[in-house]
Chain A
Amino acid sequence: MPDLLAARSQMAVSLAFHIVFAVIGIAMPLMMVLAERRWQVTGHAIYLDLAKRWARGTAILFAVGAVSGTVLSFELGLLWPEFMRFAGPIIGMPFSLEGFAFFTEAIFLGIYLYGWDLIPRPAHLAAGGVVALSGAASGIFVVIANAWMNTPTGFELAQGHAVNVDPIAAMASPAALSQTIHMTLAAYAATGFAVAGIHAFLLLKDRANAFHRRALVIALLVGAPAAVLQPISGDLSARHLARHQPVKLAAAEALFETRAGAPLTLGGWPDVERRQTRLAIDVPYGLSLLAFHDPGAVVKGLDAAPRDEWPNVPAVHLAFQLMVALGTYLALVALWTGWRAWRGADLAHNTWLLRAIALGAPMGFIAVEAGWMVTELGRQPWVIYGVLKTADAVTPMPGLIVPFLAFTLLYCFLGVIVAWLLYRQIIRSPDIPEWRGFYMPPAGRGNRKAEG
């Protein structure tokens, strides 16, 4: 395995692993706070149990997210020293701010997890709120740094060196807005639907279980609105790409030739040698409409860039199709759910809806991974688009396959353990007889300890 490929693979594995935990770390605290708030308002112990379970989940996932995030920040130097030498002064700012947001999140998560009996109730709820907010903020800062790699601004090049550095302008790069919106919504949609899907699946087996019903509703409250908004944000992203990252859009859409009235290519396998996409369905004028809101608009194809600056077209195209398909499914299920709820229907007795939600459980996370493949693979061979090639950023250290394999094994091992723990700690039904029934138990004012 060549060292560059090993370095890229190690970074990809680290990111793919970390992003799952980062995404849950953004959305799960919100669910936990909503459940605690419901407990404080209604006094039903079932909500307290839910809040504590989600807090335990947050604790496990946040810890793994914190350490895998540490790995990533070290890997920037271990694998890409030349990238950091160039980019550090320009784009270190959002990383520093992320450091602070993460610090705040860690402090208040400690207070939240261990402070149930030590601080007043409103302070406890507020601590959870701070965790949810700072989690979202740290995600936004990291995505701002990534956006700069896609649309670098805030410096001038002079003999390969950056001069006239302006870190504020770098943070306000053209990709920053669309990328941060898209990623934040993705976090809520993916986590909300994953949790809702699990509880929908359990409800299908045990229809009257009050615990899973409450969990389903709160998870959908977080996931469904985000899933509905996501296609709108996707449209914003596509229009941004058409203007600022045309090669990435061309690869995602498998558009080989620059043309007016470009069609939207659904599915298919791009044949890079022949410069055509086989087995695809073309929607006439679709891409021009989506990218510029004008059926006659000219969309740049891959031919706008030299052949050696193309990304891996089949991989980007397939990842993009996958992301869009899964996102569309979740948006439709969210709309269906919203419509049924608005009509006052009982979600827990709609078998087909529950099945659709259960089916959606893994989809948000697969879409998140696919979306990152689009944005990262779609930028290749550049690490900083148009400025620095990935091959020029890699460490001179040989034998990179060894750390790649070591971290891959470590992460596989951790992934299995985390899944097992989550099952034991949050998903498994609580063994409290009254909650097996359909009705809500009488108000317990939260005095009972509802540990599993």
Chain B
Amino acid sequence: MRLADLVAGIVFLALNGYAVLGGADFGGGVWALLARGTRKDRQRELIADAIGPVWEANHVWLILALVLLFTCFPAAFARLGIVLHIPLSLVLIGIVLRGSAFTFWRYGGGAHGDEAQRHWGSVFAVASLITPLLLGTAVGAIASGSVRAGGTGSGAGFYDVYVAPWWTAFALSVGAFALVAFAFLAAVYLTLEAQQPELREDFRRRALGAGAALFGAALLVLTLSGSGAPRMRAGLIFAPWAVPLHLLTGATAVTALAGLWRRRYRLARVAAAAQVSLILWGWALSQYPYILPPDLTITEAAAPAVTLRLVLGALALGAVVLLPSLYYLFRVFKSRSQPSAIGRQ
């Protein structure tokens, strides 16, 4: 395995971390928006309690993926910044609004009134939709092979260069798929966060519904990929690893739903995270060795070897600090028997 491939794998691992952790925080926003029934305030409170201690750490996975991308694959980063300027700017606006609205929601009310707090809760919820949709759309644009060089001097118009690559049915369907996947993850995780049985049942039903919707969204993406991303589709069907990967993904999907059905929530959590991760890796494998199909390979986009080696060293060093810290964070907040008292004081 080449050095550049290894580093690309690590960048993708960071993206994977963002999807299964940060993605679920966006999914929480979806459920805050869809909170219904007599327990809607308790549902929202549970979501806020679950996200509060971890969302910033979860968010950093995206930053990590981004800085590794521009350090190690600057040509790919530059091209993404040019061609996907519009969707990525909207992703940013979503991130800014989501993050700040969540904090204002947590800290805006307190004992001094709940009107403003509710207001920020809805900004948080709506903003949580923007980022997954457009991040997924950007992924769809990459997978369909339309993030090409050019633009400057090619004579193409604004629409052709800056809109057409991502404003396609296929890319937008990937956006919808990402949103549903994040909502599914969030609902599955929330079954474990909930302390009261009725709240747990609420999210179990939501998780089952989202799981079914995810299946529908996957079918939609697959159908549209015929004309939208033929290369990726060919990779996903004919490559030697395709069948084992699909079987494994299918097995995790069934396990997640079965776990939910039989109220084996820990099992469901692991299976759901594995399912989403496997789908991501399927995408990555289908376009290997290209980082931006159809013409930019991982090796071509890579920084000089000295940079890659140094980054690997820094990653190893960073992992020594980060992994125990992350373990501690999740042990303190995600394995307790009682929910934190904050927000109820």
B1 within 8 A of A: no
Shortest distance between the CB of A45 and any CB in chain B (Å): 14
Contact of B71 with A452 in the complex, beta carbons under 8 Å: no
Interface of chain A: mostly helix, strand, loop or mixed: helix
- In chain B, residues 61-77, which have Cβ atoms closer than 8 Å to a Cβ of chain A? 62-64, 66-68, 70-72, 74-75, 77
- Cα distance A103–B318 in the bound complex, in angstroms: 10
Contact of A451 with B110 in the complex, beta carbons under 8 Å: yes
Contact of A62 with B70 in the complex, beta carbons under 8 Å: no
A108 within 8 A of B: yes
B306 within 8 A of A: yes
Contact of B306 with A165 in the complex, beta carbons under 8 Å: yes
B289 within 8 A of A: no
**A406 — which chain B residues lie within 8 A by C-beta?**
89, 93
Contact of B64 with A103 in the complex, beta carbons under 8 Å: yes
- In chain B, residues 287-345, which have Cβ atoms closer than 8 Å to a Cβ of chain A? 303-304, 306-307, 310-311, 314-315, 317-318, 321-322, 325-326, 328-329, 332-333, 336, 340-342, 345
**A444 — which chain B residues lie within 8 A by C-beta?**
none
Shortest distance between the CB of A89 and any CB in chain B (Å): 3
Contact of B89 with A403 in the complex, beta carbons under 8 Å: yes
Contact of B70 with A71 in the complex, beta carbons under 8 Å: no
**A403 — which chain B residues lie within 8 A by C-beta?**
85, 89
Contact of A73 with B52 in the complex, beta carbons under 8 Å: no
A157 within 8 A of B: no
Contact of A165 with B307 in the complex, beta carbons under 8 Å: yes
B31 within 8 A of A: no
- Cα distance A407–B88 in the bound complex, in angstroms: 13
Stretch at the interface among B97-105, B200-208, B236-244, B250-258: B97-105
CB-based nearest B residue for A80: B81
- Cα distance A56–B82 in the bound complex, in angstroms: 38
CB-based nearest A residue for B71: A92
Pick from A63, A64, A107: contact of B57, CB under 8 Å: A107
**B60 — which chain A residues lie within 8 A by C-beta?**
66, 99, 102-103, 106
Give a binary string over A411-429; 1 marks a CB under 8 Å from any B CB, 0 the rest.
Answer: 0001001100100110000
CB-based nearest A residue for B81: A77
Contact of B81 with A107 in the complex, beta carbons under 8 Å: no
CB-based nearest A residue for B319: A100
Contact of B59 with A66 in the complex, beta carbons under 8 Å: yes
CB-based nearest A residue for B98: A67
- Cα distance A64–B108 in the bound complex, in angstroms: 14
- Cα distance A255–B340 in the bound complex, in angstroms: 61
Pick from B102, B151, B318, B333: contact of A114, CB under 8 Å: B333
A88 within 8 A of B: yes
Contact of A399 with B81 in the complex, beta carbons under 8 Å: no
**A78 — which chain B residues lie within 8 A by C-beta?**
81, 85, 88-89
**A111 — which chain B residues lie within 8 A by C-beta?**
53, 328-329, 332
Contact of A100 with B314 in the complex, beta carbons under 8 Å: yes
CB-based nearest B residue for A100: B318
- Cα distance A49–B317 in the bound complex, in angstroms: 37
**B151 — which chain A residues lie within 8 A by C-beta?**
396
Contact of A410 with B89 in the complex, beta carbons under 8 Å: no
**B56 — which chain A residues lie within 8 A by C-beta?**
62-63, 66, 106, 109-110
Shortest distance between the CB of B37 and any CB in chain A (Å): 28
**A79 — which chain B residues lie within 8 A by C-beta?**
81
Stretch at the interface among A115-123, A196-204, A337-345: A115-123
**B345 — which chain A residues lie within 8 A by C-beta?**
449, 451
B78 within 8 A of A: yes
**A99 — which chain B residues lie within 8 A by C-beta?**
60, 63-64, 67-68, 318
Contact of B70 with A76 in the complex, beta carbons under 8 Å: yes
Contact of A88 with B81 in the complex, beta carbons under 8 Å: no
CB-based nearest A residue for B120: A417
**B310 — which chain A residues lie within 8 A by C-beta?**
93, 167-168
- Cα distance A417–B53 in the bound complex, in angstroms: 22
**B333 — which chain A residues lie within 8 A by C-beta?**
110, 114-115, 118
- Cα distance A63–B79 in the bound complex, in angstroms: 29
B285 within 8 A of A: no
A81 within 8 A of B: yes
A interface residues, tally (CB under 8 Å): 74
Pick from B74, B162, B306: contact of A84, CB under 8 Å: B74
- Cα distance A403–B87 in the bound complex, in angstroms: 11
CB-based nearest B residue for A63: B103
- Cα distance A331–B85 in the bound complex, in angstroms: 44
- Given A118-B336, A424-B112, answer yes or no on A82-B67 (Cβ-Cβ < 8 Å): no
A113 within 8 A of B: yes
- Cα distance A451–B107 in the bound complex, in angstroms: 12
Contact of B304 with A165 in the complex, beta carbons under 8 Å: yes
A97 within 8 A of B: yes
Pick from A71, A81, A92: contact of B307, CB under 8 Å: A92
- Cα distance A396–B310 in the bound complex, in angstroms: 32
Contact of B314 with A106 in the complex, beta carbons under 8 Å: no
A376 within 8 A of B: no
Shortest distance between the CB of A18 and any CB in chain B (Å): 11
- In chain B, residues 83-126, which have Cβ atoms closer than 8 Å to a Cβ of chain A? 85, 88-89, 91-93, 95-100, 102-104, 106-108, 110-112
A95 within 8 A of B: yes
- Cα distance A86–B75 in the bound complex, in angstroms: 9
- Cα distance A79–B96 in the bound complex, in angstroms: 18
**A98 — which chain B residues lie within 8 A by C-beta?**
67
Shortest distance between the CB of A206 and any CB in chain B (Å): 20
A74 within 8 A of B: yes
Pick from A113, A397, A399, A414: contact of B82, CB under 8 Å: A397
CB-based nearest B residue for A168: B310
Contact of B325 with A81 in the complex, beta carbons under 8 Å: no
Enumerate chain A interface residues (CB-CB to B < 8 A): 56, 59-60, 62-64, 66-71, 73-79, 81-82, 84-90, 92-93, 95-100, 102-104, 106-111, 113-119, 165-168, 395-399, 403, 406-407, 410, 414, 417-418, 421, 424-425, 449, 451-452
Some 13 contacts from A to B, beta carbons below 8 A apart, are A59-B106, A60-B107, A63-B99, A89-B71, A92-B71, A99-B318, A107-B322, A118-B336, A118-B340, A165-B303, A403-B85, A406-B93, A418-B100
Closest 10 A-B residue pairs measured CB to CB? A92-B71, A77-B81, A88-B74, A89-B303, A81-B78, A63-B103, A100-B318, A67-B99, A106-B56, A114-B53
Given contacts A67-B99, A114-B340, A449-B345, 11 further A-B contacts (CB under 8 A): A63-B99, A66-B60, A78-B89, A82-B78, A92-B70, A93-B310, A118-B332, A167-B310, A396-B82, A398-B158, A421-B104
